[in-house]
Amino acid sequence: MSDRVEASVLEISELTKRFGGVTAVNRCSLALAPGRIYGLIGPNGSGKTTLFDCITGLIVRDGGTVRFRGRRIDGLPPHRVAALGVGRTFQVIRVFPELTALENLLVVSRRDRDGALRRARELLAFVRLDELAAEYAGNLSYGQQKLLEFVRVLMLGPTVVLLDEPAAGVNRTLLNELLAAIRRLRDEGRTILIVEHDMKVVMGLCEHVFVLDYGEKIAEGPPEEIQRDERVIEAYFGR
C-alpha cells in the first residue's frame, strides 16, 4: 500500500460531494501515476466537473481525501492547490477578456518571479500567439482563447494538469496541435487528466480511462478494455 502512495502523484480516495439531496460524486477513488495521460469519461451530469472542482479546491468536498505527492490537499484554498502544481482548464473557456494575452499569463503566480515574463513569451510563441501578446484576450478567436487558456495552465509549471473538454468546439488542425502539446507535456513527466466526450480523442490519447456514472466510478482500465465493458456501454446507451 505504501509504495502505491509513493507511485501516485495524485491520489483521490473515497471522495464524496453532495449538493442538497443529490450526490454529485460518490466515494470516488482514482490514483494517477506520474507521466501518464488519463481520461475521465461518463454521461452528462455524472460528476466529472464536480470532481475537478473538488480536486482544485473550488468546492469543498463532503468526504474523502485528495493527496498530491502524498500530501493532503483537500481543504486547501484553490490558490494553494494551484501553487503546489495542480493546474486546470474549464469546460467553457475562461480567459480574462480585458487583460491582454500576455497579461493573462502574467497573472499566474510562480515561484520564480523574474523568469515569468520570459516563460510567458515562450509559451505564447509555443502556441503561435506571440504576435497577439498585446491584444485583449476577449478579442481573440475561440481557438486562440482555447490555446491561451491551455498555456496559462502551463505557467504554473504544473505537475498535474486537469483539462475539461479540451477538444470541444476545436477544428481539426487546432485539435492536432493540442493533442501534440498534451503528449509533449506527458513526455516532460507531467500527469494529465482529461474530461472528454470525443471518444476518438480519448481512445487515441489516453493510456488509462476512468468511467463515472451518477457520481460513482463504474469502471477503469485501458481504453480498449473500457470500450468493451458492459457497464460502460450500459451507462452510455441505457439498460
Partner 1 sequence: MNVVITPAMVGQVVVSGLLAGALYSMVALGLALIFGVMRVINVAHGTLLTMGAYTTFWWFRLLGVNPYLSLLVSMPVMFVVGIGLQRAMVRRVVNAPELSSLLLTFGISIALVNGLQLAFTSDLRTVEFLTGAFVVGGVALSKSRLVAFGFALVITLGAYWFLQATRFGKAIRATSQSPMVAMVCGVNVERVHLYTFGIASALAAAGGSLVAIMFAIQPEMGQVYTFKSFLVIVLGGAGNYPGALLGGMLLGLIEQLSSLFLTTQLSEAVAYVLLVLVLLVRPTGLLGGRAT
Q: How far is the CB of 17 from partner 1 (least distance, A)?
A: 17
Q: How far apart are the first and last CA of the chain?
A: 36
> Which residue number, 90 or 214, has a Cβ lying nearer to partner 1?
90
CB closer to partner 1 out of 96 and 126: 96
Which lies closer to partner 1 via its Cβ, residue 146 or residue 208? 146
**Is 218 near partner 1 (CB under 8 A)?**
no
Residue 54 near residue 31 (C-beta atoms within 8 A):
no
With contacts defined by CB under 8 A, name the span among 4-12, 96-104, 118-126, 176-184 that binds partner 1: 96-104
Contact pattern from residue 43 through residue 82 relative to partner 1, giving x for each residue in contact according to CB under 8 A and a dash for the rest: -------------xxx------------------xxx--x
107 binds partner 1 (CB under 8 A): yes
Alpha-carbon span 43 to 38, nearest angstrom:
17
Assess 159 for contact with partner 1 (CB under 8 A).
Answer: no
CB nearer partner 1, residue 10 or residue 226: 10
Cα–Cα distance list, 228 to 46, 170, 181, 192 (Å):
20, 28, 29, 24
Contacts of 184 (CB under 8 A, 6+ apart): none
Q: Least distance from C-beta 88 to partner 1, angstroms?
A: 6
**DSSP labels, 187-226:** HTT-EEEEE-S-HHHHHHH-SEEEEEETTEEEEEE-HHHH
- Confirm or reject binding of residue 88 to partner 1 (CB under 8 A): yes
Helices (H) and strands (E) in the chain, counts: 10, 10
Binding range to partner 1, per CB under 8 A, among 19-27, 61-69, 98-106, 198-206: 98-106
Measured distance CA(79)–CA(22) in Å, rounded: 27
Of 185 and 235, CB closest to partner 1: 185
Distance CA 45, CA 75 (A): 24
Q: Which residue in 48, 61, 146, 152 binds partner 1 (CB under 8 A)?
A: 152
The count of other CB atoms within 10 Å of the CB of residue 67 is: 17
- By CB under 8 A, name the one of 67, 90, 179, 207 that touches partner 1: 90
Where on the chain is the footprint of partner 1 (CB under 8 A)? 56-58, 77-79, 82-83, 87-88, 90, 94-99, 103, 106-110, 113, 136, 138, 152, 155-156
